[in-house]
Chain A
């Protein structure tokens, strides 16, 4: 069972456009992380959101954690070709019992010059 669904799976946009990536779950997370991964490399941590309703900004990237801590979004303003990559949300669901850090299904973004 996939606990973290991301949408869209693929996104191809022109430079300068805005976009939003969603990360949804039926489970509550104590925190969520967003990563970007480029081919042949490991995921690079972008941000951690912890508090329900929290908004964090990283230059042109805005991250939001849902009030119920079950979902998150990533908004990119004026996308640039350097934003191209695989965006992953991840976290440890508050299920109790065993530890299981899970990743979302991923959103592959391509920004065309």
Chain B
């Protein structure tokens, strides 16, 4: 299967710790997106990359959040000094420019 892959699938951490998630997109896709989804809600857009350039960041992405896509392939999303409100499913998607997005199965973050 060559779909979007996310790691880890689950992360449990204590409040105040830093966490990092990884996303490997579909190989030929030049766009990569990050979303956050809380229970019972649709995904909320966080940021997206075209190749290695981060083109857009949502206001939801506070200064504790940072995303990178250093070589235009995989991406990482880091959350520093985690808070209870950061508990959510973090979804990654990829696409060709102008094409539909294909999602990974997400990383579920639980903050104790």
A103–B44 Cα distance when bound, in Å, is 7
Chain A residue, CB-CB nearest to B45: A101
Q: Is the CB of A103 within 8 A of B43?
A: yes
Among the 9-residue stretches B63-71, B73-81, B95-103, the one with 4 or more Cβ atoms under 8 Å from chain A is B95-103
CA distance A42 to B4 in the complex (A): 10
Q: Is the CB of B103 within 8 A of A43?
A: yes
Interface residues of B (CB under 8 A from A): 4, 33, 40-45, 48, 55-56, 58, 91, 93, 100-106, 108
Give Cα A88–Cα B24 distance, bound, in whole angstroms: 23
Please report the C-alpha to C-alpha distance between residue A103 and residue B40 in the assembled complex, in whole angstroms: 12
**A42-B4, A42-B105 known; A48 and B100 CB under 8 Å?**
yes
Q: Of the candidates A33, A44, A101, A104, which one forms a contact with B33 in the assembled complex, judged by CB atoms under 8 Å apart?
A: A101
Give the interface of A toward B (CB within 8 A).
33, 35, 40-45, 48, 88, 90, 98-106, 108
Instruction: Tell me if A40 and B105 are in contact (CB < 8 A).
Output: yes
Q: Is there contact, CB below 8 Å, between B100 and A99?
A: no
User: Chain B residues near A40 (CB, 8 Å)?
Assistant: 105, 108
Q: In the complex, how many residue pairs between chain A and chain B have their CB atoms under 8 Å apart?
A: 49
Which residue of A has the minimal Cβ distance to B10? A40
Residues of chain A contacted by B106 (CB below 8 angstroms): 41-42
> Could you say which residues of chain A place their CB within 8 Å of the CB of B104?
42
Across the interface, do B41 and A106 meet the contact criterion of CB distance under 8 Å? Answer: yes
Docked CA distance A104–B48 (Å): 19
Contact A101 B101, beta carbon cutoff 8 Å: yes
- With A99-B55, A100-B58 given, is the CB distance from A43 to B43 under 8 Å? yes
Partner pick for A104 among B42, B101, B102, CB 8 A cutoff: B42
What is the CA–CA distance of A48 and B96 in the complex, to the nearest angstrom? 14
Asked if B105 and A41 make an inter-chain contact with CB atoms under 8 angstroms apart, the answer reads yes
State the 7 A-B residue pairs at the shortest beta-carbon distance, nearest first. A103-B42, A42-B103, A99-B56, A42-B105, A106-B42, A43-B103, A48-B100
